[in-house]
Chain A
């Protein structure tokens, strides 16, 4: 395999890491340290690497020890500090496709070494659903690096012979362990990482241990390496990490490394063991063993690379110093799970103490370093985990099977019980190798040729860490990546710091990309010596996710670009785009802001649109307003409690504008609500608050007044709405909805619109004659196009805002900000005094809410009629800009526009202690404008414009054309087809009638909630069925790969034992109703406004497979 390092061509072997390949090519210096610029080489063989950080392709910083070599790889050493090198990445487009996925299991095993493999084998054979994640390309853990024999044969033969009934994810690092056994793991794929979100009933941590270094002078030279790393390069990669080695063996693993190096043809000059002579196994190692000795320094060549090792007075020539400082169990994930570690005196290491979650550590990560011990421990851990998981699964399954308890199945079908597993096995992601676990022979713990291990030396630092002590010779490093030395720790202790967390922040030890994996224990050991306290008393710093660095691209996955945030669109969206509309974001909606004609400025377009609405006729897409269907015999009484004004007395067919307040009495939302029948209302909400208002209604109904007979159904996406406004609006209505021609102001008609069943409301937000015309969503575009063809001028939200402001109508969220009462808005008239109570009523008489000097809604006219005061400008008393000092602020400007009708600018504002006629100054930035306070109604205060022009003479001809239906997914048909494969097919299901039903079981359909059903298909609707045929679009995913697509965005468990056949849940970033119609066929019912977003997301998901 060819690759380059800093432009130099090199060759490596398949299976090499970049670090192994660099050593293979004799590269000793991989980079220079950030702070001191000292040369550094490969120090480890894993993710704990502090030194060998490189840039690879577009990745600015990776540890060479975890980069798998590929042909053509280009790597560079790092330069600079804290920023990308100028030559990095710019010209290298990042073409990776990162993704994510959700998995569920009974037992998650983290780590594929001896303990993890045994745990997987044991858990899998019990029938549990097991996932094994391991960060290496192949299983074995430390066995990959070792020459140990199991049952007399190479250990990897034992690995190969294992039966592992589990889903196995290699090259996958568990990086985060969160509440309730939620583990996040990153799978490295050539085409981009995949972030796995795994929910496990039980977790077995088999994360192994990290060898540690210790602090001695000159311990950072290239050529100084962990003994375990030297052994890995020799055994696994066939790379000699040096020609002549000294081994610093504080633990027995140093002797194993010495033997392995000898076997690989490396000369071993000496083994230096701090422990007394009686403890060494010198006879086994054909090299000089210096018992009771320590490495006191190193020598180097001109480049700083290791040439020799000092042991007191003696100097050994060597180009490799293998340091076996002892082992630290990898307790990172355990600690992230909020488990508490404790210091084990025998092991001289922190080990898992008290668990906080349903997990258990096994093998080396709890200090059982022997291979045989780890296998036995893993086997026990896996067995116990599976038993515990299966018993909790059974309990849950039994509960789910209780009648009426769980989300039910489609009527007429019987749900599968928790115990039925047969026939579900398939070849896809959905299937579990665990299905074949039954009957697998139990694992036998193999014999191993390892010697029993003896306690390591309790040595963290050579020499006394006192001021001037080690500093005199050469720096002794504790954190190689951060260039933190023993002297730095001495200084920290000298300032009086006692907490290890303070020392970390003061010295930066442990804050590098390696997060102190090799340095943490050394820092604790040195601080322990400095403070005269045991390491257990000093404690560790907090282990935080992620375990290894992850890129933002990995975390973002496919939620980038257009998919980064869902965009909601109306039925008319494509027409708006074709017409050149400029859009604004309102919540997640795209709404036309204005419709510029060729070359027109925004100001000119808005003035023109306003003029059309005031003098002729104009039309706006009002589909985004929230619409809630409210039914029940107590619906009127319920609305009386929610709105400040009265609804129970509203006549059938009448509309009423209403305000609702929070319990604190502040305005929460507004809109018109219409009585369609005695027990049936339609509420409209503001665009941005639609979901919040529905939540609000359900909260009060369910938690305070469950006795009221009332139910709520969102129909926001069922109806498309066009507001037709202007003195000539009646002419358009006479053509499109002649049945609504005679409507009085604030009245409603259920009538044919363009020949389809529609609803027309005569309500006005502009003061002009106006109608809100509703048709089912699929006819929305046809309605819009027809209204425009009939001469209406399209207008956007800006014009709508100007028109309502001229009439002094406030906008919730613009004139209000959660601190404004109806009285503050001058709307005391809408606050009922007759009703005994409504939400917020009591707050209106609180002293603060009732005080006289509150800010109130006012109008402002700038003295310069061409000057537009900035929204948000502060109001101060008197004229002219403040000349300094503290000036009381009276309020602020909430809305400001140019009015075509008034021929001048005007504003709305909230201000205290002002009266009509007062002259104030509006200040913002550097601008100050003189303004005069006026009543906040600028136009037609006597409402003379409300009824518009009469219909001209002559008979209006009702619309004769066809009203074309168009689903939000229609435009995607070809792309759905193009992206579909043999494995997975995506299509839109042709239109079906759909209903939502509340209350009693209708006997058909899907149960969505305790008394909530969803019905689709050919049915004769029963009484009380709410037509929601256009509220959702039906997309269908089918084929063996369907589940592979769904798990990239759906967090729930789709396993047949758990998934009841349908569920309301999340898919990507939107709510859906998901229904499994057949083993490989899913229907996705998605809100019509989210359909385009979800269609793009699904197309992207299929393309990413």
Chain B
């Protein structure tokens, strides 16, 4: 059970959150090739190690925020 530090509410159990996948995936604007668009919709990194990802405090303050989580140890560090 991860303990996730919500920037508004402080540390709460994982069960209060919804996972939001990889962080920093920008919505493509302007002319976008089929390949570039498919990459945006379907492709995400899956590293072994530190991973910047989004969480949503769905049962609390309903804030989206980013954390860095180590995918092997589950260690979490906040990003600011």
Contact B8 A407 (CB under 8 A): yes
Contact B9 A1051 (CB under 8 A): no
Q: Which residue of A lies closest to B34 (CB)?
A: A846
Q: Which residue of A lies closest to B42 (CB)?
A: A664
Contact A702 B63 (CB under 8 A): yes
Contact partner of A1066 among B16, B54, B62, CB < 8 A?
Answer: B16
Contact A182 B63 (CB under 8 A): no
Name the interface size band of chain A. 35 or more
Contact A1065 B41 (CB under 8 A): no
Contact B16 A695 (CB under 8 A): no
For residue B2, give the distance in angstroms from its CB to the closest CB of chain A: 5
Contact B61 A1064 (CB under 8 A): yes
Q: Which residue of B lies closest to A842 (CB)?
A: B37
Contact partner of B8 among A663, A1009, A1051, A1065, CB < 8 A?
Answer: A1009
Contact A702 B64 (CB under 8 A): yes
Contact A847 B56 (CB under 8 A): no
Contact A396 B10 (CB under 8 A): yes
Q: Which residue of A lies closest to B31 (CB)?
A: A842
| Cα(A197)–Cα(B63), bound, Å | 26
When each residue 1064-1084 of chain A gets 1 if its CB lies under 8 Å from chain B and 0 otherwise, what string results? Answer: 111000010000000000000
| Cα(A698)–Cα(B18), bound, Å | 13
Contact B62 A1065 (CB under 8 A): no
Residue A400 is within 8 A (CB to CB) of chain B in the complex: yes
Interface of chain A residues 691 through 734 with chain B (CB within 8 A): 695, 698-699, 702-704
Residue A179 is within 8 A (CB to CB) of chain B in the complex: yes
Contact B56 A695 (CB under 8 A): yes
| Cα(A698)–Cα(B62), bound, Å | 8
Contact A179 B1 (CB under 8 A): yes
Contacts of A1009 in B (CB 8 A): 8, 60-63
Contacts of B49 in A (CB 8 A): none
Q: Which residue of A lies closest to B23 (CB)?
A: A703
Contact A1051 B13 (CB under 8 A): yes
Main secondary structure of the interface of A (DSSP, over half): mixed
Name the interface size band of chain B. 35 or more
Residue A445 is within 8 A (CB to CB) of chain B in the complex: no
Contact B58 A1063 (CB under 8 A): no
Residue A380 is within 8 A (CB to CB) of chain B in the complex: no
For residue A602, give the distance in angstroms from its CB to the closest CB of chain B: 37
Contacts of B27 in A (CB 8 A): 704
Interface of chain B residues 1 through 41 with chain A (CB within 8 A): 1-3, 8-13, 15-16, 18, 20, 27-29, 32, 34, 37-38, 40-41
For residue A1058, give the distance in angstroms from its CB to the closest CB of chain B: 8
Contact B62 A182 (CB under 8 A): no
Contacts of B37 in A (CB 8 A): 842-843, 846
Known interface pairs A182-B3, A199-B3. Does A1071 touch B20 (Cβ–Cβ under 8 Å)?
Answer: no
When each residue 52-80 of chain B gets 1 if its CB lies under 8 Å from chain A and 0 otherwise, what string results? Answer: 00101011111110000000011010000
Residue A506 is within 8 A (CB to CB) of chain B in the complex: no
Q: Which residue of B lies closest to A843 (CB)?
A: B41
Contact partner of A407 among B9, B13, B58, CB < 8 A?
Answer: B9
For residue A358, give the distance in angstroms from its CB to the closest CB of chain B: 11
Residue A1052 is within 8 A (CB to CB) of chain B in the complex: yes
Contacts of B34 in A (CB 8 A): 846-847
Contacts of B1 in A (CB 8 A): 178-180, 182, 197, 199
Q: Which 3 A-B pairs have the closest CB atoms?
A: A1009-B61, A180-B3, A182-B1
Sample of 5 more A-B contacts, CB < 8 Å, known A180-B1, A197-B1, A1009-B63: A396-B11, A695-B58, A1012-B62, A1051-B16, A1066-B59
Give 19 pairs: A residue, B residue, CB < 8 Å, sorted on A.
A179-B3, A179-B74, A180-B1, A182-B3, A356-B73, A405-B8, A406-B10, A663-B40, A842-B28, A846-B34, A846-B38, A847-B34, A1009-B62, A1012-B62, A1063-B9, A1064-B60, A1065-B16, A1066-B16, A1066-B59
